[in-house]
Structure 1
Amino acid sequence: MSEIYSHSARGGEQPRLLMDHLEGVHRLMSSEVERAKNYMDFHNLLGVDHKTLSFLVKAIAYLHDLGKATPEFQKKILNKPFHRDKTPHAALGAFTIGVYLSEEMPKELQYLIPLMVTLVKRHHGKAENPEFGCSFENEYELLEWQIRYIDRSFLKDLSSKIIVPDLNISDLEDFTNDWQDNYEDFFFEIDDIRPYVLYMYLSSLLRWADETDAAFRSRPLPKREDLPSDIVEKYREINGFNAPGSDFMNKLRNKFYFEATKNLDFSIGSLKGRTGIGKTLTLFSLALKLRKKLKNKNYTPRIIYCLPFLSIIDQTYDVARQLFLETGAPEPSSSQILQQHHLVDIDFKTDNEDESYEKYLADLLINSWNSELTITTFVSFFHSIFTNKRNPRFFRIPGSIVLLDEIQAIPPQYWDLTGKMMKLLSDYGGTKFVYSTATMPSCFGLSGSALYNGEIPLERFQLDRVGEMTFEDFKDELLPETIEEILSQKKSLMIVMNTINSAEATFKELLNYPDINKERLYFLSTRVPPKERRKRIEEIKNAKDFCILVTTQLVEAGVDLDFDYCIRDMGPLDSIVQVAGRVNRSNKKAKGKIKLIELTDFNGGRPPSMIYDPVLLSASKRAMSKNTYNEPELYELIENYFDEIDNESMGFKTKSRELFENIYKLEFSKIANFKLINDSGKTYPIFIELDNEAKKAWQEYTEIIQKPTSSEDKFKFLAEKKDIVRKLAPYIINYRPKHDDRTDLPPILNGFCYVQKDELERYYDKKTGFHPAGCDFY
């Protein structure tokens, strides 16, 4: 066999042989395709049958890195002097797979050739429209040189695995014209989502297999581990949840739990339950029971638990972990339960104490959801479906059980898009979806089975619409009245404002109240570093009686807080209901009070509620025709509200339609406009050196980024950098200055605006967090 290499030597190992790499990629990709026979309808999901998919997988696996079998790339691998402009390898693989498919694929399927060409050409970059992905104008000279000097002995070895077509640079223009014609003839005439799904499936499968083989080489992947299907039942029994006695709330939770987990015959299930009813445990139990039912000797579905906010992922992970620890099971391994988001530590542990994974291996396992239960974000999940970026996750979604908790957090303009994609994956991909919320939109285009139909007879609060008022009227009249009332009755109060500035101004006003214990006065916003936010939330949870929290909307969903009273500035109705779920949450207090105000201005400027879509605000105001609502009445309004904003005249379906058109034509650069979180305007990451741990993390970060690295250390370096950045994350806030004016921001150092410890007084307030220099908050 010819000694042609794909990857550099590493850690005392020899360089990876290219043939071994291609065989490894094919083995990994084809094993997943074989496993998919247990749950996937290939034709209706991907537009091709299993035989054709296997044929495409073989072609992609064996041809994608063909450009590495050229002299300059081999010099690069062996750390010899090389010409950089002759080392790009993807174009030759793309041209080769195009010629191969043109000669070997049936005519009726040759419309897929442009997809496969651009997939291989862009397998180290962002996806692009096949019409442009099939163009090799900029690579002509490179291809001419690589075709002339490619290692012939390697091609001979490769021909024992797959037919290697003869390549002639003079044929390039004719082939590319044919492929572009194929694209225009098919994709301009037919609206078919399946080619897009096929591309995403194969692209993610290739990235995962390519990186996995390059990283693990001859080392085996972690073996799959068991998740006990009855672990929630044991946990409930140990904690006495299944014997609620006379406690009304516990009896209600029990009824909800048993009814919601008894029906397992569904593809899409909807779980509607109010805040505090026990949805998290119910979802875990439901998923585990469904997994046991679907399991056979060739297939065990993974569980993907998706949440909209990082603040509740840690909380949910802790619940899952306690299921093990409180039932006498060992500490769960990463192969059993895993968090995946950009702040989690890069660490992967199995049940074998002697087995450890270096950072770059752990990073790969985490980012490819290599666990039985992965807890992740909506952004990670949906941006694995609608994106132009390479990702190693999409192929995990078919055949999995997907829990979408707090689904109302998906913006209305994407309801139609996400709903139809979920239905396609459910109907033909073998994906089981359960979507859950206290405020369920019925307009996702999903006909899910209702998993709980019982009444939830709770009246934990009353909401009073106070109406419009200026900020001056609020702080001079309503605020002092409310403070006097809660102080006299020793009640807790949460004030939720729509902007950081109005929240800070309210907090400043409360600091002037002599009767308020300032130790029990809390402030939360995204200008407070995550570490300090978590600390404050825990303190509030443990507060026995009186406390006041002034916050922005970051407490709306999932954060387990419980207050007696609440003041909320006007917002969309679903946001109002989510905040209401933080009032008398446990139903163990007197009926809570919520005052809904509508600030008409702030410091002479526009109303703070204008941060929301005016269509949502108008629909909310129309829905709320009365001035007083109890809990059941407020929840009844939600269905009408969602139906109204889903109405065609509201315009929210337009965005979904535009994205569908781009999906049909594979316009990846436009598909990338899908964003669950609006990130308009430039933001600056600001690192705040709050304590000695922050100082130590910063020192480690500067040492790592200044460390020289070689090509063989590249993946280790990137993983180490990602890991240390995650250690910085508890001290990082993102700040968006007005008009992109960074005059008063800290100096930029190593990619961050850096507030060192002796500069804290200039840029940081212990109560309200970061502020620009010269901003005299007090």
Structure 2
Amino acid sequence: MKITYTAHIRETDKQLQSVKEHLQGVKDLAESFGSKLNMRHVAGLAGMLHDLGKYTNRFQKYIYQAVFEPDNSEFKRGEVDHATAGGRLLFSMYHRIENTPQEKLLAEIVGNAIISHHGDLHDYISPKNESDFLRRIDDKTLQEYDLAVERFFQEVISKNDFIKYVALASKELDQATDYSPQQSLFITKFIFSCLVDADRTDTRLFEEKSTEKYSQSHRLLFQTYYQKLINKLDTFKYSTTSSQSINQLRNKMSEKCETFAEKTSGIYTLSIPTGGGKTLASLRYALKHAQHYHKQRIIYIVPFTTIIEQNAEEIRTILEDDEHILEHHSNVIEDDGDDEQDDGFFVKKQKLKLARDSWDSPIIFTTVVQFLNVFYAKGNRNTRRLHNLSHAVLIFDEVQKVPTKCTSLFNEALNFLKTDMHSSILLCTATQPTLENVQHSLLKDRDSEIITDLPSITNSFKRVEIVDKTDYSFTNEGLATWIETNLNNWGSTLIILNTKAVVKDLYERLKEAGVSVYHLSTSMCAAHRKKQLNEIRSMLSNDTPFICVTTQLIEAGVDVSFKCVVRSLAGLDSIAQAAGRCNRHGETESQNVYVINHEGENLSHLKEINEGKQITKSILAMYRKDSERYGHFILSQKAMKEYFLQYYKNMASNLNYYIPEVNKEMTSLLMSHRNENEHVQYYRKKYNAQLPLFLTGSYKTAAEHFRVIDQKATSILVPYGAGKEIIAQLNSDDWTEDLSKLLKQAQQYTINVYSSGFRQLIRDDALVIHLDGAIYELKENWYSQEYGLDLHGEGEMGDLIV
């Protein structure tokens, strides 16, 4: 009787998936993912070997007891290591003296992916001058390792065929790599991504009894989308406002995007001024380019979730499709270190993590935070998405908002997407940062700007006058009085300040004074902000004088048009973006944007804003002396370039993501050449031997310390509107195959809370914790209709209709 070696036991009916079936299924999926970069066999090798350790008697006993004899199990969950054996087999066979450099590199890249597929990639050499990779793959004691290898070659593939397969993988890797540390980093991450997604997908399909097939081509869908977009743009041509000069300019720039889309993939810029219609113009470029060059998906990356909500809704309406457009605000499920532990049997928490979460939708809206997390953050659910960034069109909206400390990491990721991942990148903003002028420079293409004659276009879109009021320092008391005095003359007015504290205080002062006032905050969930913005747009259409008080979250791309804007002094790019919310559609010939100096803002922990503020102050001073230098417009292209060159010069020491805990920059941990890596030299002194590895990146250390936002943020579901129903469904025992869709919906009702606020919520018993910390739910008293999250527990929800 033939023995079946078990990889998984399905929860619902206790059916078995054999190790052979699982390894073959993961191999097939990984091959399809890896083929995107012509590394079919490299990725397939990782899939074929990843769970080889499940062939031990020890694991077979462990999984049987865990499912059928849980009260008498000899093992603790996660105690039996089944992830190391496959990496060790590859390393032991192909990382010897007689092996070629390509074979050794293959063993290091694929070996690391295999041993790490339930966590994060290991350090090849750590800041402690030790190799965690070698300790795991070469030194760790593995019980029944030889038995597992024997069964693998008997059941899955013969040794001779295995050797032939590895030879193909080695050849692919040799053709793909130039052995630079940057490329080695990203190829390792890519193979890891292919393996993790293939493993999770095959496991999910087995658990759901699904025969779903992986589909790569969205070309027909993009053709349909393109025609719908063109039909919509045609309606603008025949509208009653089509003859307005601003609409004629928008149409002209949209047509330029159409023509430019025929250029080969690269890194390009689209510097349409604010209010110039860049969302639809960039979509026109993306859909045309995707068809022309067989791209698989279009990904919009924005700085703030507020833009996701607006842009996704606009594009959904035009394309008449909801199913294929994904908004990815944040991870609803928390990473907890045991990220995707697959012991072959399932509890509810593990099933949540198997849900489809790999960015395989045709059109995706996400944030810069989530994009950078894919490349650099802890948690393999982030890295899982990386392979789906290949053969894509990536549109970065308001690219100047990339956090300064991440500038070099951002540039290196985009360079890899261009040179190796066959993707095209479009940087959209009226205020283009000079990313090509820093140490880790962005490899923009020659003649990269889509819009020609930018100074003339910028002047044509001028709809505001910048009024410099920075010679006087405002307090909130004085600001409130000034606003009350002028509101009837100004009409609808947007106030943008630099910190949440002064925004909330000013809002309360104006409300007490009887002024019609709205408040927007990142403490509100997406659905809540959307409702507030809809009310604000309704007030704007009624031409009613009122005030909206907010932070910079409204600046980047939110389509609102106030008659007046007051902006607290910040970077020149922020002032330009604030100005884009005033007289946005040219309703009148010109309106005023007041720039003020607010003495109540504490910017000691907001270095980027403070630095931008000081540079802008200097440029304003020069403008007062010689306005002709900037073409008599402080927001001119010349002024903006001057601002960014000075900004990156002043912030040069902050561009490479410094990690104080290890006194290293992330670029050094991840991308330093072997002969420049001091830890390699210390290793030689410590062990009196050379580090026997090509790769020297500290991948795990870097991931553990990476945060796009300085503080760790935790995702929390809030009891706002449909959020209550979603919370109930996630906690019910009625599990459906539509779990992935439910998690996507949940993002609309999620807020991200920084560590200090999260600790306070825990202390105040404000959270309900589900599934051992996989999901956090905020209790009702801690969510307010006015402010969103209320850390005082005095939230009043009122009668909300959403």
Q: TM-score range by the shorter chain?
A: 0.7 to 0.9
Match of 1:198 in 2: 187
| Aligned-pair CA distance for 1:251 | 0.7
Residue by residue over 1:451-470, the C-alpha shift from the partner in whole angstroms, topping out at 9 and shown as x without a partner, is 11133212211112212555
Match of 1:435 in 2: 427
Answering whether residue 79 of structure 2 is matched by residue 84 of structure 1, we say no
**Gapped regions of structure 1 (runs ≥ 5):** 38-52, 166-186, 326-330, 346-357, 708-712
Answering whether residue 793 of structure 2 is matched by residue 767 of structure 1, we say no
Residue by residue over 1:2-37, the C-alpha shift from the partner in whole angstroms, topping out at 9 and shown as x without a partner, is 521222135448311211222222222223344544
Match of 1:487 in 2: 488
**Secondary structure of the corresponding residue to residue 181 of structure 2:** coil
Residue by residue over 1:739-777, the C-alpha shift from the partner in whole angstroms, topping out at 9 and shown as x without a partner, is 9666984544326887655xx4xx565434444439899
Give the direction of change, closer, same or farther, for the CA distance of 1:702–1:583 in structure 2 (3 Å limit): same
Query: Conserved in 2, the CA contact under 8 Å of 1:523 and 1:551?
Result: yes
Give the direction of change, closer, same or farther, for the CA distance of 1:128–1:240 in structure 2 (3 Å limit): same
Query: Conserved in 2, the CA contact under 8 Å of 1:697 and 1:727?
Result: yes
The counterpart of 1:114, out of the listed 92, 108, 120, is 108
Amino acid at match of 2:768: L
Match of 2:196 in 1: 207
Give the direction of change, closer, same or farther, for the CA distance of 1:237–1:243 in structure 2 (3 Å limit): farther
Match of 1:28 in 2: 29
**Secondary structure of the corresponding residue to residue 672 of structure 1:** helix
Separation in structure 1 between the aligned mates of residue 617 and residue 113 of structure 2, nearest angstrom: 48
Answering whether residue 618 of structure 2 is matched by residue 622 of structure 1, we say yes
Q: How does 1:68-83 map to 2 (within 5 A)?
A: 68-78=54-64, 79-81=67-69, 82-83=73-74
Residue by residue over 1:285-344, the C-alpha shift from the partner in whole angstroms, topping out at 9 and shown as x without a partner, is 11111122213xxxx53322222222111222222222233xxxxx4542xx33333378
Amino acid at match of 1:415: T
| Aligned-pair CA distance for 1:155 | 3.6
Query: Conserved in 2, the CA contact under 8 Å of 1:462 and 1:630?
Result: no
Q: How does 1:385-404 map to 2 (within 5 A)?
A: 385-390=375-380, 391-404=383-396
Residue by residue over 1:112-138, the C-alpha shift from the partner in whole angstroms, topping out at 9 and shown as x without a partner, is 233333221111111111221121499
The counterpart of 2:668, out of the listed 661, 668, 672, is 661
Answering whether residue 348 of structure 2 is matched by residue 383 of structure 1, we say no
Separation in structure 2 between the aligned mates of residue 734 and residue 660 of structure 1, nearest angstrom: 28
Separation in structure 2 between the aligned mates of residue 373 and residue 702 of structure 1, nearest angstrom: 29
Residue by residue over 1:374-397, the C-alpha shift from the partner in whole angstroms, topping out at 9 and shown as x without a partner, is 222222222212235322222222
Query: Conserved in 1, the CA contact under 8 Å of 2:355 and 2:740?
Result: no
| Aligned-pair CA distance for 1:728 | 8.0
Residue range with higher mean Cα deviation, 622-631 or 563-572: 622-631
Separation in structure 2 between the aligned mates of residue 739 and residue 24 of structure 1, nearest angstrom: 41
Amino acid at match of 2:113: L
The counterpart of 2:653, out of the listed 651, 654, 673, is 651
| Aligned-pair CA distance for 1:232 | 1.9
**Secondary structure of the corresponding residue to residue 299 of structure 2:** strand
Q: How does 1:670-689 map to 2 (within 5 A)?
A: 670-672=701-703, 677-680=708-711, 689=719
| Aligned-pair CA distance for 1:61 | 2.4
Q: How does 1:464-543 map to 2 (within 5 A)?
A: 464-467=467-470, 469-472=472-475, 474-476=476-478, 478-488=479-489, 491-514=491-514, 516=515, 518=516, 521-543=517-539
Amino acid at match of 1:423: N
Give the direction of change, closer, same or farther, for the CA distance of 1:23–1:312 in structure 2 (3 Å limit): same
| Aligned-pair CA distance for 1:700 | 4.2
Residue by residue over 1:505-538, the C-alpha shift from the partner in whole angstroms, topping out at 9 and shown as x without a partner, is 2112212335x3x4xx211123344433221111
Match of 1:639 in 2: 641
**Secondary structure of the corresponding residue to residue 282 of structure 1:** helix
**Secondary structure of the corresponding residue to residue 377 of structure 2:** coil
Query: Conserved in 2, the CA contact under 8 Å of 1:307 and 1:313?
Result: yes
Query: Conserved in 1, the CA contact under 8 Å of 2:312 and 2:365?
Result: yes
**Number of residue equivalences:** 689
Separation in structure 2 between the aligned mates of residue 89 and residue 274 of structure 1, nearest angstrom: 55
| Aligned-pair CA distance for 1:414 | 2.9
**Secondary structure of the corresponding residue to residue 647 of structure 1:** helix
Separation in structure 1 between the aligned mates of residue 410 and residue 199 of structure 2, nearest angstrom: 29
**Secondary structure of the corresponding residue to residue 636 of structure 2:** helix
Separation in structure 2 between the aligned mates of residue 307 and residue 559 of structure 1, nearest angstrom: 11
Amino acid at match of 2:367: T
Q: How does 1:136-535 map to 2 (within 5 A)?
A: 136=136, 140-141=140-141, 143=142, 145-147=143-145, 150=148, 152-160=150-158, 192-217=181-206, 219-221=211-213, 223=215, 224-225=217-218, 226=220, 227-228=222-223, 229-240=226-237, 245-263=242-260, 264-266=262-264, 267-295=266-294, 300-325=295-320, 331=321, 333-334=323-324, 337-342=325-330, 366-390=356-380, 391-444=383-436, 445-448=442-445, 449-454=448-453, 455-456=456-457, 457-467=460-470, 469-472=472-475, 474-476=476-478, 478-488=479-489, 491-514=491-514, 516=515, 518=516, 521-535=517-531
Give the direction of change, closer, same or farther, for the CA distance of 1:61–1:377 in structure 2 (3 Å limit): same
Give the direction of change, closer, same or farther, for the CA distance of 1:624–1:677 in structure 2 (3 Å limit): farther
**Secondary structure of the corresponding residue to residue 202 of structure 1:** helix
Separation in structure 1 between the aligned mates of residue 159 and residue 526 of structure 2, nearest angstrom: 53
Separation in structure 1 between the aligned mates of residue 212 and residue 557 of structure 2, nearest angstrom: 38
Match of 2:753 in 1: 734
Residue range with higher mean Cα deviation, 434-443 or 132-141: 132-141
Residue by residue over 1:209-238, the C-alpha shift from the partner in whole angstroms, topping out at 9 and shown as x without a partner, is 112222224613254442214332122124
Query: Conserved in 2, the CA contact under 8 Å of 1:269 and 1:435?
Result: yes
Amino acid at match of 2:645: D
Query: Conserved in 1, the CA contact under 8 Å of 2:50 and 2:114?
Result: yes
Amino acid at match of 1:658: E
| Aligned-pair CA distance for 1:492 | 0.3
Query: Conserved in 2, the CA contact under 8 Å of 1:117 and 1:134?
Result: no
Match of 1:172 in 2: none
Separation in structure 2 between the aligned mates of residue 776 and residue 235 of structure 1, nearest angstrom: 43
Root mean square deviation, CA, Å: 3.9
Give the direction of change, closer, same or farther, for the CA distance of 1:271–1:153 in structure 2 (3 Å limit): closer
Give the direction of change, closer, same or farther, for the CA distance of 1:753–1:611 in structure 2 (3 Å limit): farther
Separation in structure 2 between the aligned mates of residue 6 and residue 754 of structure 1, nearest angstrom: 34
Separation in structure 2 between the aligned mates of residue 31 and residue 744 of structure 1, nearest angstrom: 48
Give the direction of change, closer, same or farther, for the CA distance of 1:239–1:15 in structure 2 (3 Å limit): farther
Q: Taking structure 2 as the reference length, what is the TM-score of the superposition?
A: 0.77
Amino acid at match of 1:157: E
Identity of aligned residues (%): 22
Give the direction of change, closer, same or farther, for the CA distance of 1:495–1:630 in structure 2 (3 Å limit): farther
Query: Conserved in 2, the CA contact under 8 Å of 1:687 and 1:753?
Result: yes
Amino acid at match of 2:95: S
Separation in structure 2 between the aligned mates of residue 11 and residue 740 of structure 1, nearest angstrom: 38
Separation in structure 1 between the aligned mates of residue 606 and residue 44 of structure 2, nearest angstrom: 54
Query: Conserved in 1, the CA contact under 8 Å of 2:718 and 2:724?
Result: no
| Aligned-pair CA distance for 1:581 | 0.9
Separation in structure 1 between the aligned mates of residue 654 and residue 136 of structure 2, nearest angstrom: 39
Query: Conserved in 2, the CA contact under 8 Å of 1:72 and 1:83?
Result: no
Q: How does 1:572-583 map to 2 (within 5 A)?
A: 572-583=571-582
Separation in structure 2 between the aligned mates of residue 415 and residue 687 of structure 1, nearest angstrom: 31
Query: Conserved in 2, the CA contact under 8 Å of 1:90 and 1:120?
Result: yes
**Secondary structure of the corresponding residue to residue 371 of structure 1:** coil
Query: Conserved in 1, the CA contact under 8 Å of 2:523 and 2:751?
Result: no
**Gapped regions of structure 2 (runs ≥ 5):** 125-130, 164-176, 334-347, 437-441, 659-663, 672-695, 797-802
Separation in structure 1 between the aligned mates of residue 95 and residue 701 of structure 2, nearest angstrom: 29
